[in-house]
């Protein structure tokens, strides 16, 4: 069963994971978009691995916070132990208006998270928050990317 962006007993907010993502956001390198994002991955044993977006003057070479966190998890040898990922972000100079909606992963990041879910053998929870953290939503990766491309798509 999915979370559908709503808070239920099954999909309660993971405050510790969100705070780790907020801390990672402080390390974002986003001089071009001025949009900072932090991500945090929770492993089966409770450990948390973080990542922040890292831009490049050639936008196509930029790294999203989610992919940085997933890659760091893979480098630690723990990709099969991913249980959840949280992301938080927004403009580095926030407007004076209301807090925007929670950010969600881009398409590329959704595919990367879906691949991690396939390797982990479980539907990964995705905790999404706005810059201030007041706007929150919880999804599963299968809700965000219901027809993910997979190794099965290579077979004839």
Determine contact, residues 20/40, Cβ cutoff 8 Å. Answer: yes
Here the CATH number for the domain that contains residue 73 is 3.40.140.10
- Identify the pLDDT of residue 9: 66
Domain that residue 65 falls in = 15-148
Q: Is 66 annotated in the active site?
A: yes
In a domain, 97, yes or no: yes
Cα separations in angstroms, 55 against 6, 36, 76, 128, 144: 31, 10, 23, 21, 24
- Nearest-angstrom CA–CA distance, 22 and 131: 8
In a domain, 86, yes or no: yes
- Identify the pLDDT of residue 154: 80
Find the angle CA(56)-CA(20)-CA(95) to the nearest 5 degrees. 60
In a domain, 4, yes or no: no
In a domain, 92, yes or no: yes
- Identify the pLDDT of residue 124: 97
pLDDT tens-digit map of 8-46: 666 789 999 999 999 999 999 999 999 999 999 999 999
pLDDT tens-digit map of 55-112: 999 988 999 999 999 999 999 999 999 999 999 999 988 665 667 789 999 999 999 9
Annotated catalytic residue, options 10, 12, 66, 143:
66
Q: Note the Cα 16 to chain centre separation in Å.
A: 14
Domain count, the chain: 1
In a domain, 144, yes or no: yes
In a domain, 20, yes or no: yes
Does the pTM of the predicted model rise above 0.85? yes
Instruction: Please state, rounded to an integer, the average pLDDT across all residues of the chain.
Output: 91
In a domain, 9, yes or no: no
In a domain, 31, yes or no: yes
- CB within 8 A of 75, min separation 6: which ones? none
- Identify the pLDDT of residue 64: 97
């Amino acid at each position: 069963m999915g979370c559908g962006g709503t808070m239920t007993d099954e999909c309660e907010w993971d405050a510790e994971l969100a705070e780790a993502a907020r801390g990672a956001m402080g390390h974002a390198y986003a001089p071009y978009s001025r949009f900072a994002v932090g991500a945090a991955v929770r492993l089966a044993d409770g450990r948390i691995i973080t990542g922040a977006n890292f831009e490049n003057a050639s936008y196509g070479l930029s790294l999203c916070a989610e992919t940085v966190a997933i890659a760091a998890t893979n480098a630690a040898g723990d990709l099969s132990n991913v249980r959840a990922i949280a992301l938080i972000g927004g403009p580095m100079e926030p407007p004076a208006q209301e807090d925007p909606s929670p950010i969600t992963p881009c398409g590329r990041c959704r595919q990367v998270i879906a691949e991690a879910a396939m390797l982990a053998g479980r539907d990964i929870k995705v905790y999404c928050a706005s810059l201030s953290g007041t706007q929150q939503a919880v999804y599963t990766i299968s809700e965000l990317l219901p027809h993910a491309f997979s190794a099965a798509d290579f077979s004839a």
